[in-house]
Structure 1
Amino acid sequence: MQIAGSNGFGHSIEFMSQAYLMNNNRYSEIDIHLQDDIPNQQRPLPIFLKFEDVEYKVKNSNAASNVKKMVSKVGTQVNENQERYKKILKGITGSIGPGEILALMGPSGSGKTTLLKVIGGRLSENVKGNITYNDVAYSSAFKRRIGFVTQEDVLFPQLTVEETLVFSAFLRLPANMSQQQKYDKVEATLKDLGLERCRHTKIGGGFIKGISGGERKRTSIGYEILVDPSLLLLDEPTSGLDSSSANRLLLTLHGLAKAGRTIITTIHQPSSRIFHMFDKLLLISEGYPIYYGKARDSMDYFSSLRFIPEIPMNPAEFLLDLATGQVNDMSIPPDILEYQESTDPSKAVIQQHLQLKYKTLLEPKEKEENHGGIKTAEHLQVAIQAKKEWTLSWMEQFMILCKRTFRARCKDYFDKVRLVQALGVALLLGLLWWKSSTNTEAQLRDQVGLMFYICIFWTSSCIFGAVYVFPFEKVYLVKERKADMYRLSVYYACSTLCDMVAHVFYPTFFMLILYFMAGFKRTVACFFLTLLAVLLIAITSQGAGELFGAAVMSIQRAGMVASLILMLFLLTGGYYVQHIPVFMRWLKYLSFMYYGFRLLLKVQYSGDEMYDCESKGGCRPLQSSPSFDTVNLKGGFKEVWVLFAMALSFRFFAYLCLRRRIDLCNL
């Protein structure tokens, strides 16, 4: 079967696999069948993965502090650099090709998930060893060929199962597939994973009722397998599934592997039926490998070491007992007892014995057969380095992501509580300032106070409505950016424009009620100018909230930072303190509330308008009022351009902060 992909290679997957097999007798013959309904560009590129002597360590702050104390007290020379780190992976070697499923097994904390992340390119710092894909090192060009299913299900709770898969299909499948083909692909995935019954049910989570845990896991897997990745990595895919669902899932993975994909999965304690579906097994104990090879040969290997179960046992249960050093209900080799004072060897002795046997019996054989100078075909090495182009243009991604963003946040946009809040506050203010006027200085001061309160209300509402968006969606954004689903600029544009719906709707609804109750000028021009001023304040506040949220990217700290900045803007807004000391005056020029408040005053009042006509001195122009000491009501509307520039600047810097934060997470 020929491949006529976009990279111009005319070789067949079958030919490439057989060419590799001729040089490597470790792999059994691979039967690869490609789905006819998938375009040639999407047929998976064969991935031959090799990892050799992989080590990974993490910083251990407690160990570092203990070393410093020991050095200061004893005065001995200690290699502090070594003590500061704790090794998680300790020299792991293996290989796997297309058509095979490799299971990573071991007790909790043994390093299975860490190894999976290292292989998937999600951990790069403090990693030693050699990991190659078709004999080429990992690069960013490869990440769109990897599907990674995390143990935690990262799905938008407001979307249904079908919507989740449809949006993924439209974002990730190639543009030359028709909409019907993409829908058919989603339909097939729903059927394969048994999600037809819950297709119209929301994912749910938190206080939102949704699908079951098993259905969430299958949806997460469908999210990845939908785009036929060349290398599929799964972290505990059967957790939360019953035996029947787990078997069905493994059969699906088995079919995906035989279609030419390389699959690696961590699994804790599979049933015996599932265990025999794996082609290869890597058993890890305390970060050390103690078995690597064909899964069906594992029992024979440990039997050759004279570890034999004395009662019928699930092979996976037997292997996990060995990995943890538990040798109950099994016979053990007599030579282990030679250096033991008792007939019950310790767990550490069992683990060390198995580690030594692996080093002497299995590792040299693996390195000789699969790592000993055998090279993958050159065209596969070139293909793995070819960066896949974006499947959709910027505008196409924007349209799809806008629909998804609006669906995911629609409930927040049109929330009954927010509507009642806007209505309630508008009515309360309208009743308190009912038919207010500017006839006297006191009445004018009251109406100016209402103007400032409008600024405060919508500034705080919009800042806190925007500051939590990116911290809340960080986990989704990191996951999808690691898969190169879309450009970050597309996500940011969709997020800020969709959120703007709420930041325009609620202030408009609010002002329609309050404006006429409070007795403001009843002219069409004045009403719309006042509304536009309030909307400009709201949109600028939204940009400021996005900037604060993107800068800290923490739910707890975002609220605290927003509160402090809001207090600063409030005090320098020009109402509480009009005559700010010279050395603090620069602060007001950073406050968009200062410009918004001045703009509202200029829109609503005219400097030549007369007031206080019943006083002893007679009528006076509004400009002479102490309320406008620092505001030139005839000074034009330059505040519009300042607020507009601030709104754009906040968003520009918010995007830069977001890119920096997400790039750091993707390292």
Structure 2
Amino acid sequence: MLGADDNNKNDATTVKMLDDSCRIQLCESEKLEMEGPEKERKSQLCIEFDDLSYSIYHNGIKKTILRDVTGHFEPGKVTVIIGPSGAGKTTLLKIISGERWLNVDGTVAVNGVERNRGTFRKQMCYVPQQFALLPFLTTRETLYIAARLKLDVKRSEQMIARLIVNEIAESLGLSGCLDTLANRLSGGERKRLSIGVEMITKPSVFLLDEPTSGLDSAASNQLINVLHNMARTNCTVICAIHQPSSQMISQFDNIMVLDRGRCMYCGPKNEILNTYEYAGFTCPRFYNIAEFVLEVITEQRGGDLESLYKICRSEYEKPKSRHKHPKNEMDSETTCSKQKIERDDVYTFENNTKQKLSTWQQQKILLLRALICIKRDSTMTILRFSAHVIVALLLGAVFYNFGNDAQKVNSNIACLFFLLLFLFFANSMPAVQMFPTEAAVFLQEHLNNWYSLRSYYSIKILTDLPMQILCSSSFLLISYYVTGQPMESDRVLRAWSVCVLMTILGQTVGILTGSAFNTEIGVFLIPALSIPLLLFAGFFLKIGEMSIYLRPLSFMSFFRYGFEGMMQAIYGLDRPNLYCSEIYCYLHSPSAILSMMNMPTVSFYVILIILSCWIFCLHIIVYAVLCWKIYYARK
């Protein structure tokens, strides 16, 4: 008996050791599976929403877009949202993504827990119908830079270029246009590229608005197959499609029908016809399901839509309990599995969160992208530089050798004032036309967690600076020499510093106007707001001759400080008397010229500080406007 007991104990000990060994190996295998780049397991996110309602006010009239929409999107499946134009498909996607939340009633839950917008947005990607791309990047460069911004910084460039970029390009049929600029891609290729840049991180939730628009049937089917492959990795895929074909609709797992803001069905695709037949709508054999459903909800087939709505809502409520967030597929009694289930239940999605790059790492990648775009946009760069050179030569021809002639002082002062005007408007107008496109790309990428505003705007300022200095320097040096201004290094340096600051100031005003308004309004606002400031610059009306009530307004004009800085640079610093070909010239003394213009009012270095403060304050306002745009877009 004792021997038998000992044997039983030994057997139990052996079984226990084998059990522990198996458990350890299972834990390690799960860990390796989680770490594998190709088999990265995601947290399964089941999205449930109850009684979602959304309204907007237009001209004081309330317009309801969504009315008590209830449904769910399951992980591991591809769900299609269909409905006529204006049914609320795009609005629903924006609400689910967290991009729109103002005036939204109802609840959105993820895995049974109320959604946290900040956390959820790190786990999802939303591809809008109109996706902005930088025009001077090729398909390869667009995918590569997106991968660098989204993935682990430790991954080698060769791995990103060869594995990730080529894999996505091949899966989306973009291999033949990898070296084509984005502005030369067809509409379908641009659509597939916009989807590809968001597929890089393999998000847990993938929302697409009209992903097949502009694609032929073969490309559409290829895209749906790619989305099915994503769904197999526990991704929740939702597509809003206006009217899918029979072949396309057969590839979706679940279907949701929207009509005038109401949900007319949400569930498995193979049960929708039974539900509609129960409501009195019978689909003919071999008929496109999507076309039949659209004909029903647009009242082309007759019948009671209110009854259909109630039946669909009732049928959805019955099995609602079985749509709760799924348990982990590897549900077992092991410690590793228990911990994994607990992590899913508390909605802490750490396994597949996008790699967070530091500000410096983001800036390096954005600098690379900006330099590529500047190099490719050679036409605009050459035109901008050429315009400064040509106008400088024209200015020199008109005011040739006026700088040291006492009889032509007034004309020379006009030349100095015109110089500042050209630098301001020649740099503000292009900026207001170009920046809205850049801002649209930034806003889209920032909302999808590519990089921070601080990284983007710092690189924007840095990359603009060389061209600003080059253009202003070439313009000043040519016009300064040809118009016969005094060739003294101190004077040239002072005039150059004022011109560079006015150039930066002009471009900053253009960026501010372009970020706050669209191009059409910005082109109107810059002259409309700048011309009043010109009145208080001290050229048309001297500061001392202004009304005492209007004089304080001159302190708000940056043109005043730029103009006075140029006057002090040219006629200050104890300059000797000007050349006079007549017996007597009243304005042959530089001090008399400054006295006639009621200058100086402040010292030259104070002028530089004031212009620098103007630039700094305008950049702060631009940054605040971009922050507001981000905040407003998330509403």
TM bucket by the smaller chain? Answer: 0.7 to 0.9
Distance change >3 Å, CA 364–CA 658, structure 1 → 2: closer
Kindly provide the amino acid, as one letter, of the partner of residue 310 in structure 2: L
TM superposition score normalised by structure 2: 0.85
Q: Secondary structure at the match of 2:122?
A: helix
Deviations 1:161-190 (A, max 9, x none): 122211211111122322223222112111
Q: Pick closer, same or farther for the CA change 1:316–1:634 going to 2, 3 Å.
A: closer
**Counterparts in 2 of 1:182-193, with a 5 A limit?**
182-183=160-161, 184-193=163-172
Alignment of 1:344-355 (within 5 A): 345=302, 349-355=303-309
Q: What's the offset of the Cα at 1:422?
A: 1.9
User: What is the CA–CA distance in structure 2 between the aligned matches of 1:408 and 1:615, rounded to whole Å?
Assistant: 56
**Contact kept? 1:13, 1:46, Cα under 8 Å:** no
Q: Which amino acid aligns with 1:169?
A: A
Structure 1 residue 47 corresponds to structure 2 residue 24: no
Residue segments in structure 1 that go unaligned for 5+ positions in a row: 1-9, 17-32, 65-83, 205-209, 328-344
1:133 has 2:107 as partner: no
How far 1:319 moved relative to its partner? 2.2
Secondary structure of the corresponding residue to residue 610 of structure 1: coil
CA distance in 2: counterparts of 1:464 and 1:45, whole angstroms: 49
Structural mapping, 1:254-265, within 5 Å? 254-265=228-239
Partner of 2:470: 505
Taking a change above 3 Å as real, the CA distance of residues 12 and 520 of structure 1, as seen in their structure-2 partners, is farther
For 1:621, the aligned partner's letter is S
Query: Secondary structure of 2:550's partner?
Result: helix
Residue 201 of structure 2 contacts residue 354 of structure 2 at CA under 8 Å; is this kept in 1? no
Q: Which residue of 1 aligns with 2:318?
A: 365
* Matching of residue 201 in structure 1 with residue 180 in structure 2: yes
Query: 1:565-580 to 2 correspondence within 5 Å?
Result: 565-578=529-542, 579=544, 580=546
Counterpart pick for 2:423 among 441, 455, 458: 458
Alignment pair present for 1:145 and 2:123: yes
- Aligned-pair CA distance for 1:634: 10
Contact 1:611–1:622, Cα closer than 8 Å, also in 2: yes
Q: In structure 2, do the counterparts of structure 1 residues 253 and 13 end up closer, same or farther at CA, with 3 Å as the change threshold?
A: farther
Within-5 A mapping of 1:12-161: 36-37=36-37, 43-61=41-59, 64=60, 84-136=61-113, 137-161=115-139
Q: Tell me, in whole angstroms, the C-alpha distance in 2 between the residues paired with 1:400 and 1:372.
A: 38
Q: 2:179 aligns to what SS in structure 1?
A: coil
Q: Which residue of 2 aligns with 1:30?
A: none
Distance 1:486 1:216 in 2: 22
Shift of residue 11, structure 1, vs aligned partner:
10
Offset of residue 101 of structure 1: 1.0
1:480 CA drift (Å):
1.7
Any conservation in 2 of the 1:601–1:633 contact (CA below 8 Å)?
A: no
CA distance in 2: counterparts of 1:321 and 1:358, whole angstroms? 17
Structural mapping, 1:435-454, within 5 Å: 435-440=401-406, 442-454=407-419
Check the 8 A contact 2:469/2:500 in 1, yes or no: yes
Q: Say whether 1:380 aligns with 2:344.
A: yes
- 2:451 is the counterpart of 1:474: no
Whole-angstrom CA distance in 1 between matches of 2:606 and 2:103: 54
| Correspondence 1:228-307 to 2 at 5 A | 228-305=202-279, 307=281
TM-score by length of 1: 0.82
CA contact (8 A) 1:106 1:268 kept: yes
Give the Cα separation in 2 of the matches to 1:245 and 1:526. Answer: 65
1:407-443 Cα distance to aligned partner (Å, 9 max, x none): 3455278444333322321121111122224332x31
Equivalent residue letter for 2:367: C
Residue pair 1:131, 1:138 contacting (<8 A) in 2 also: no
- Cα deviation, 1:549-591, whole Å, max 9, x if unaligned, reads 44x3332332232112211222221211113222111122222
Question: Does the CA-based 8 Å contact 2:403-2:486 persist in structure 1?
Answer: no
Corresponding residue number in structure 1 for 2:10: none
Change beyond 3 A, Cα 1:352–1:500: same
CA pair 197-628 structure 1, distance change in 2 beyond 3 A: farther
Which string of whole-angstrom CA distances, capped at 9 and with x for unpartnered residues, describes residues 37-96 of structure 1? Answer: 3596xx5332121122222222253xx5xxxxxxxxxxxxxxxxxxx5333222222223
**Partner amino acid, structure 2, of 1:145:** Q
Are 2:571 and 2:594, in contact at CA under 8 Å, matched by a contact in 1?
A: no
Q: Which amino acid aligns with 1:491?
A: Y
CA displacement, residues 618-665 of structure 1 (integer Å, 9 cap, x when unaligned) = 895310236744223995533122222222222122212221232122
Q: What is residue 522 of structure 2 aligned with on the other side?
A: 558
Q: Secondary structure at the match of 2:598?
A: coil
Conserved 8 A contact 1:116-1:235: yes
1:221 to 195, 201, 209: 195
How far apart are residue 318 of structure 1 and its match? Answer: 2.0
Alpha-carbon shift at residue 374 of structure 1 (Å): 9.9
1:180 is matched with 158
Distance 1:378 1:139, change over 3 A: farther
Equivalent position of 2:577 in the other structure: 610
Cα distance in 1, alignment partners of residues 414 and 251 from structure 2: 73
Other structure's SS at 2:244 match: coil
- Residues in 1 aligned to 2:294 and 2:618: alpha-carbon distance in whole angstroms: 54
Aligned to 1:342: none
Aligned partner of residue 526 in structure 2, secondary structure: helix
Instruction: Find the aligned partners of 1:234 and 1:218 in 2 and give their Cα distance.
Output: 11
> SS of the counterpart of 1:51?
strand
SS where residue 356 of structure 2 aligns?
A: coil
- State the AA in 2 paired with 1:307: F
Aligned-partner Cα distance in 1 for 2:173–2:354 = 32
Shift in CA distance, 581/359, structure 1 to aligned 2, threshold 3 Å: same
Bigger mean CA deviation after superposition, 222-231 or 378-387: 378-387
Counterparts of 1:489-528 in structure 2, within 5 Å, are 489-528=454-493
Please say which of residues 517-526 and 142-151 is displaced more in the overlay.
517-526
Q: Distance in 1 between matches of 2:250 and 2:619?
A: 54
CA contact (8 A) 2:45 2:325 kept: no
Count the aligned residue pairs: 591
- Picking from 172, 182, 185, the partner of 1:211 is 185
Alpha-carbon distance between aligned partners in 2 of 1:475 and 1:632, rounded to the nearest angstrom: 44
Summarize the Cα distance change of 1:11–1:259 in structure 2 as closer, same or farther, 3 Å threshold. Answer: farther
Tell me how far apart the structure 1 counterparts of residues 379 and 112 of structure 2 sit (CA, whole Å): 50
8 A contact 2:404–2:484 mirrored in 1: no
| Farther-moved stretch of structure 1 (140-149 vs 300-309) | 300-309
Residues 1:11 and 1:500: Cα distance change in structure 2 (over 3 Å): farther
CA RMSD between the two structures: 3.1
Offset, 1:304: 4.7
Q: Distance in 1 between matches of 2:598 and 2:297?
A: 77
**Residue 591 (structure 1) aligned to one of 557, 567, 588:** 557
1:402 Cα deviation from its structure 2 partner: 2.2
For residues 85-117 of structure 1, what are the alpha-carbon distances to aligned partners after superposition, in whole Å with 9 as ceiling and x for unaligned? 333222222223321111111222222222111
Contact kept? 1:474, 1:553, Cα under 8 Å: no
